[in-house]
Amino acid sequence: MSFRVSSRLRACLSGMLALAGSLCLSLIVVAHAAAHTTLALDQEEIAWRRAHPVLRVGVFAGDHMPLEAWMGGQPEGLGIDYVRLLASRAGLQVAFHPFTDWEAVASRSARRAPPFDLLLALPIPVATRATSACCGPT
Residue 79's Cβ-count burial label (10 Å; 0-12, 13-18, 19+) is buried
Residue 62 · residue 21 · CB < 8 Å: no
Per-residue pLDDT tens over the stretch 54-91 = 999 999 887 778 888 899 999 999 999 999 998 888 88
The three-class DSSP label of residue 10 is: helix
> Rg of the chain over CA atoms, in angstroms?
20
User: Per-domain residue ranges for the chain?
Assistant: 1-37, 41-138
Per-residue pLDDT tens over the stretch 87-119 = 888 888 999 999 888 777 766 565 667 788 888
- The architecture in CATH of the region 41-138 reads 3-Layer(aba) Sandwich (3.40)
Hey, which residues does 55 pair with through a beta bridge? 94
Hey, which residues does 56 pair with through a beta bridge? 95
Residue 91 · residue 133 · CB < 8 Å: no
How many CB atoms are closer than 10 A to CB 20?
Answer: 10
